[in-house]
A and B are shown apart, each in its own frame.
Chain A
Amino acid sequence: SSELTQDPAVSVALGQTVTITCQGESLRSYHATWFQQKPGRAPILVIYYNNIRPSGVPDRFSDSRSGNTASLTISGAQAEDEADYYCYSRDSSQRGVFGGGTKLTVL
């Protein structure tokens, strides 16, 4: 299967920890990549391949992987973390695939 499944919406209290998950068979073979997208803006890369964060991404973002599930964790969520989050990987035909996205609300 080339599908990646994400929960449509997740909420977290300010300063608390939240985990966003992504499930799919391709994740058994390929690492997930995570993007953050705010309204009206292009997605930005936040983490990939075993916790590599591009310059400028806070270290409160981390990722993990187990079986067919990849997870993005935000430790101590801030108001500016409110956004849509998408996972991305490849399928067995080397085609790219995105998860449906998770809308994160910081309360």
Chain B
Amino acid sequence: QVQLQESGPGLVKPSETLSLSCSVSGGSMTNYFWSWIRQPPGKGLEWIGYIFYTGATNYNSSLKSRVAMSVDTSKDQFSLKLTSVTAADTAVYYCARGAFCSGGDCYWLDSWGQGTLVTVSS
């Protein structure tokens, strides 16, 4: 059973860069989308983006100018960078594994990390 674990600072200063990593164990990274999702306190889930195992990316259009993702399949991990953070970026950040069906009309996130709270504050 694949397991994912987020890691990174729990506190980031405004205008700085949020950096998180997600370690993958118990399964291959090949043929999956590796995703980041966040959830502000008391609010719903927000899709941040994904990186395919090949390195291809797709980002939320509202965050696209500030987001960068990378993947290192040799180390079984992928990463998120979010620049110029503000208090509005305070959230629990989740990494997740995304799969898809051969017809291309269905996508799902079948394994999630436990989440890590990142607070933006001076």
Contacts and interface: CB of A to CB of B under 8 A. Distances in A.
B78 interface: no
B33 to A, nearest CB: 9
Contacts, number: 69
B25 interface: no
Interface in B5-49: 35, 37, 44-47, 49
Interface string B92-122: 0010001001000111111011110000000
A99 B61 CA distance: 16
B94 A96 contact: no
Interface string A19-58: 0000000000111010101000011110011000010000
Interface of A: 29-31, 33, 35, 37, 42-45, 48-49, 54, 84, 86, 88-90, 93-101
Interface of B: 35, 37, 44-47, 49-50, 58-61, 94, 98, 101, 105-110, 112-115
